[in-house]
Amino acid sequence: MAEILGAITVSHVPSIGGAIARGLQNDPYWKPFFDGFPPVRDWLARVRPDVAVVVYNDHGLNFFLDKMPTFAVGAAPEYRNADEGWGIPVVPPFRGDPALSWHLIESLVDEEFDPVTCQEMTVDHAFTLPMALFWPDMQWPVRTVPVVVNTVQAPLPSAARCYRLGQAIGRAIASWPGRERVVVIGTGGLSHQLDGERAGFINKDFDLRFIDSLMNDPAWATKYSTAELVELAGTQGVELLNWLVARGTLPAKVRQRHVNYHIPVSNTASGLLLLEPA
């Protein structure tokens, strides 16, 4: 059967792409952020995953406010990036894994999740920037399965439902008859708000408590409603739902291999966490 090697959760701020393009990794502003990634790259080079299941939220490149699914799964042979208007260079296409994608979709439907199935799909910075941070040569040594979670427009899925979605994805991967080695990537957050009276809001105490909970009490955040999470983490900080999905794919007991937290990146609290099954 397939094996989940670990889960990586990471921020996906668009300005990261600009910093990569301009070679600012050692700039004093950016260095504390980029210095967090070599241990994760070393781990990936050592464990050599075959597939990356990437849990993220689309920002309008593939879905927009007129059509916003709660959950969607890519089932395409290839996923391409496109210009989003941020000035981020377009990256090479990503290989898909249609067979594993369809198994995942069918397994989720069997567990009474109803994802939108995407046989064509464009991926945005929430997908591409984490991949570029983990594999900076952009050669993409893994096949990919995109999983989109609505963190953009009400009604959002609850934290509890997102955690259960992750558990269902974990069971689906475990039941796949192949021997693929899988890494699950959850992208977004942490606390930030881009608009309104609280623009620039960052809640460090909540961020650190949330990161710790993923290690020691993964259901902790599920006690909060969506409105409470927005209050605690900001309107866009609710992207932490993607982190909960990724954490749900792992067993209850995990090992923390690496963690990094840095503020600010743009006006966002950035986090990076690598967990393995214990």
Decide if 277 is inside a domain.
Answer: no
Contacts 24+ apart (CB under 8 A), 197-200: 198/234, 198/235, 199/267, 200/267
Q: Tell me, what CATH number does 49's domain have?
A: 3.40.830.10
Whether the bond between 264 and the residue before it is cis, its omega within 30 degrees of 0, is yes
Cβ-Cβ contacts under 8 Å for 138 (sequence gap 6 or more): 91, 92, 131, 132
Q: Provide the token pair at 249.
A: 């794919």
* Residue 40 structural domain: 3-268
- Terminus-to-terminus CA distance in the chain, angstroms? 18
The number of folded domains in the chain is 1
Alpha-carbon gap, residue 94 to 123, rounded angstroms: 9
**Residue 274: inside a domain:** no
Which residues are known to be catalytic? 125, 192
pLDDT per residue of the chain (278 residues) written in tens, 0 to 9: 899 999 999 999 999 999 999 999 999 999 999 999 999 999 999 999 999 999 999 998 899 989 999 999 999 999 999 988 888 999 999 999 999 999 999 999 999 999 999 999 999 999 999 999 999 999 999 999 999 999 999 999 999 999 999 999 999 999 999 999 999 999 998 998 878 888 888 999 999 999 999 999 999 999 999 999 999 998 888 999 999 999 999 999 999 999 999 998 888 999 999 999 99
Residue 142 lies in a domain: yes
Answer yes or no: is 278 within a domain.
no
